[in-house]
Structure 1
Amino acid sequence: MTQLHVETLIAGGGIGGLATALAIARTGKPVHLVERAPAFGEIGAGLQIGPNATRALDKLGLLDDVLKTAVIPSRGVIFDAVTGEKLTTLDFGDKFLKHYGHPYIVTHRKDLLDVLLAACRAEANITLSNNRALAKVHEEEDRIVVEFQDGDVWTCDVIIGADGIKSTVRSLIDHEQPVFTGHVAYRGTVPTGQVADFINQEDVALWIGPGVHLMQYPVRSGELYNQVAVIESARYAEGRDDWGTAQEMTEMFAGMCEPVRRSVSMINAERGTPVSDREPAETWSSNRAVLIGDAAHAMLQYLGQGACQALEDALSLADNLDRAEKDHVQGFKAYEDDRMERASRCQRAARPWGALWHTADPTTVALRNRYFKLRAPDDYSETDWLYSATTDEASTKGHPNEAGKLYHV
């Protein structure tokens, strides 16, 4: 059994954990990060990164490296998945860049992780450890005790839970578990040549239909085409055990238009990934533990903000701990004051947005489609609350509970 004491321990080596390690280390504090997997990697394929998150990457000095393999799409386009009709576009071009100051990009998750990992390995204040799966964590008055699954026991002054939706660190703070929503996601990439004859590869394409949607965009400098098909599982709703299979995905998309059916047939996934959600938490911290990312605010994917909000968390937590100097409790609370309202708003906003994509009600579909068709491609008023540089700007734009305010393509 190995015993070790570290000042700041980060549990979780995903995008949020590595970004937090880097941000804290650059304030002069030593950080030790542990990852349960044998190697650093990301589950999934594509990732949408809005201007709020490219701004965070820029502040970390990493945006140029990320852009070496990322794609800056020309626009986002929403289609009716049943009829194939184009409903609306959001221009990501020069006016968008001037408006927000940073681009909207799409990238492969591993490509972003590799950039973060290289930056962390180059930082003298960061120590990285793999094969470190947490079994239990205990909070004492003057320390955190961490028991690993291999029997090792470490202690630390503070622990940062970046360990995802099934967080072990969260047990020190909040015992409410995320709830499976009945939504199932199927992910995959294909060489872009396989879709070149029927897909505009310069766009982020979103196809919306009853109980389903399909998101598509290029990654890895345009070499691969990422697809995410999501269903509201009818089998799960019926209480069946055979939900989330490839067969159910095919069945749910059977009534959609030919380009959607053809695209979905290229997703090689025997079983989909359950999508979970939770109510916003009352706190993300205890005296010696604090949460970031999905561990703090798991949300549905309909705003494309999971990783983006984790990047915002990383900068905020590092900045507030630095300002608080040795008073980490004050730093935790300042971080919560800075971030909780915004992240909770994203959690709540994703729900009606997803419901609007998946509605089967004919009247709602007609009104939704009519609204989409009326908006201009360069009208950014409904995304300002999410993408603008300051919280002051965000607080005056839109509202997450207004069904007519449609947030993200």
Structure 2
Amino acid sequence: MAKILIAGGGIGGLAAALSIAGRGHRVVVLERQATFAELGAGIQLGPNAFHALDCLGVGEAVRDRAVFIDELRLMDGTTGERVASMPLTGAYRGRFGNPYAVVHRGDLYQPLLDACRASGDIELLGGRPVTRYEQGPAGVTAVTDTGDRFTGAALIGADGIRSAVRGQLVGDGGPRISGHTIYRSVIPMENVPEELRWNTVTLWAGPKWHFVHYPIGGGRFLNLAATRDDDAREEVTGEPADRSHVLGEFPGLSDTARDLLELGEEWRTWVLCDRDPVERWTDGRVALLGDAAHPMLQYAAQGACMALEDAVVIGGLLDWDEDAIPRRLEKYNAERRERTARTQLVAREMGTRLYHPSGAEARARNEMLSSLTVDDLHDRVAWLHGARDFSRGLGVGAGAAR
């Protein structure tokens, strides 16, 4: 039994802890915040996420908190026209083996946290931000900002997009600022007119903006997320935004979409960031996971899903031979980098070519998408949603489309 260190107690870090402990190892999770908690609002979970959650033993607990969505819907945000709808029941669930759902981030995080706390092989330590690591042939030491030192057979950097472990391992500086600003609000569903309480993830696409909404919290709340391609160049993280400013950022929004946007209260804003894909996430006994390895924009709704997949793969590869750990981490890197890099780049492309065009380009998009059958739409997402073993194969699993 080896002792494995994990820097970061977010979704990816806790999932990795469960996966690695499930292989018989002891795990120490070093979280920068004093308490273990997950901030944020809504998050989307594809069938691939539920496959991973089932492997981790928390699938049913997350399902109990989730809202199972009937369809993904793309609307023309200026005309109000429905462009395309992808059903997520029936044939979709049969093909991919699991539902598509939305949850509050806390409703994904809490089952992971509860399972970690119930494990006798996982130690959760808050207030220990890892700032660097040292390693030798037989072990690695994580060093915190207070100088505390924790030594184990491996260190998994799951410390997010601004990962200190990545800073030392990759050394690629700060995140890439996308130039897109997102405004988020969560409102009680009782404030939403009954005719607008859709059990869908609906995206209204407009010129250099888009607006997404869906139910969370067991249907008790509506999650609103409105994004503006405003060429932002400075990072902003969760700052309050004036309601009148938010409403003014989305000119030309069709009537129904405008009605929904006007329901928003207590808006907060972020400037979205990601990073370019990299080939190598490992350094001897150190490896990256989740946003530390492959941070991506939200537009493919796969950031948390990829972190959960990472966790399942890395746990499955860490066997009992401590001397083999560097080789096993290299294999994890090789198995994951192609799939996650493709997802990173697809997310970027969706945020520009699919969601934000205007004029003739928007009309061409609408014509192309409206011509697709339901089977066509399912084929388009099969490489992502249909994955079950999460390897470098871009779509291993039922109905995978290469």
The answer to whether the aligner puts 1:192 opposite 2:189 as a matched pair is: yes
Query: Which residue is equivalent to 1:394?
Result: 395
* Change over 3 Å in CA distance of 1:217–1:163 after alignment to 2: same
Give, in whole Å, the separation in 1 of the partners of 2:387 and 2:132: 39
Deviation at 1:325, TM superposition (A): 5.6
Whether 2:81 is the aligned partner of 1:80: answer no
Deviation at 1:62, TM superposition (A): 1.3
Normalising by structure 1, report the TM-score: 0.89
How far apart are 1:260 and its partner, in Å?
Answer: 2.2
Corresponding residue number in structure 1 for 2:12: 16
Counterpart position of 1:385: 383
CA distance in 2, matches of 1:74, 1:359: 25
Given the alignment of the two structures, is residue 369 of structure 1 paired with residue 366 of structure 2, yes or no? Answer: yes
**Aligned partner (choices 199, 202, 208) of residue 199 of structure 2:** 202
- 2: distance between equivalents of 1:204 and 1:59? 26
> Comparing 311-320 with 322-331, which one deviates more in the overlay?
322-331
Q: In structure 2, what is the equivalent of residue 265 of structure 1? A: 262
Pairing partner for 1:294 from 291, 301, 304 = 291
Query: Can you list the C-alpha shifts for 1:63-99, whole angstroms capped at 9, x where unaligned?
Result: 1111111011111111111111111101011111101
Structure 2: where are the runs of 5+ without partners? none
In 1, the alpha carbon distance for the partners of 2:34 and 2:158 equals 17
The offset of 1:224, in angstroms, is 1.1
Asked if the contact 1:55/1:102 (under 8 Å) is kept, the reply is: yes
Partner of 2:155: 159
User: Partner amino acid for 2:99?
Assistant: P
Q: Is the CA contact 1:207–1:260 (under 8 Å) kept in the aligned structure 2? A: yes
Given that 2:10 and 2:109 are in contact with CA atoms closer than 8 Å, whether structure 1 keeps it comes out as: yes
Matched-pair contact (CA < 8 Å) for 1:186–1:267:
no
Does 61-70 or 150-159 show the bigger shift?
150-159
- State yes or no: 1:38 paired with 2:34: yes
Aligned to 2:180: 183
Measured after TM superposition, the shift of residue 289 of structure 1 is: 0.8
Once the two structures are superposed, the pairs formed by residues 298-377 of structure 1 within 5 Å of their partners are 298-322=295-319, 326-377=323-374
Mean Cα displacement is larger for which, 134-143 or 341-350? 134-143
In structure 2, the residue matched to 1:64 is 60
Q: Which moved more, 1:217-226 or 1:194-203?
A: 194-203
Quick one: distance in 1 between partners of 2:124 and 2:274? 30
Relative to structure 1, the CA distance from residue 51 to residue 270 in structure 2 (aligned partners, 3 Å threshold; closer, same or farther) is: closer
> Is the Cα–Cα contact under 8 Å of residues 138 and 323 in structure 2 kept in the other structure?
no
CA distance in 2, matches of 1:347, 1:283: 15
Partner SS for 1:394: coil
- How far did 1:9 drift? 0.8
Q: Which runs of 5+ in 1 are unaligned?
A: 1-5, 400-409
Conserved in 2, the CA contact under 8 Å of 1:201 and 1:217? Answer: yes
Q: Deviations over 1:186-244 (max 9, x none)?
A: 2221111222334242111111111111111111111111111111125x379xxxx99
Give the deviation of 1:167 after TM superposition. 0.2
Q: Per-residue deviation at 1:333?
A: 1.1
Aligned to 1:275: 272
Contact 1:324/1:331 (<8 A) preserved: no
Partner of residue 52 from structure 1, selected from 48, 51, 56? 48
Query: Normalized against structure 2, the TM-score is what?
Result: 0.90
In 1: Cα distance, 2:198 partner to 2:343 partner: 28
Give the Cα separation in 2 of the matches to 1:284 and 1:324.
Answer: 21
Q: CA deviation at 1:284?
A: 0.6
**Displacement of 1:287:** 0.5
CA contact (8 A) 1:179 1:276 kept: yes
CA deviations over 1:142-195 (Å, ceiling 9, x no partner): 433333223423333321000000001112310113211111122221111222
| CA distance in 2: counterparts of 1:340 and 1:393, whole angstroms | 10
Structure 1 vs Structure 2 CA RMSD:
2.3
What does the per-residue CA deviation read over 1:363-395, in whole Å, with 9 as the maximum and x for residues that have no partner?
110110111211223431101111113565727
What number of residue pairs does the alignment pair up? Answer: 389
Cα 1:167–1:83, aligned 2, differ >3 Å: closer, same or farther? same
- Aligned counterpart, 1:138: 134
Query: Whole-Å Cα distance in 2 between the matches of residues 206 and 328 of structure 1?
Result: 44
CA distance in 1: counterparts of 2:150 and 2:387, whole angstroms? 39
CA distance in 2, matches of 1:12, 1:368: 40
Q: What secondary structure, in the 3-state scheme, does the structure 1 residue paired with 2:331 have?
A: helix
In 2, are the aligned partners of 1:137 and 1:168 still within 8 Å (CA)? no
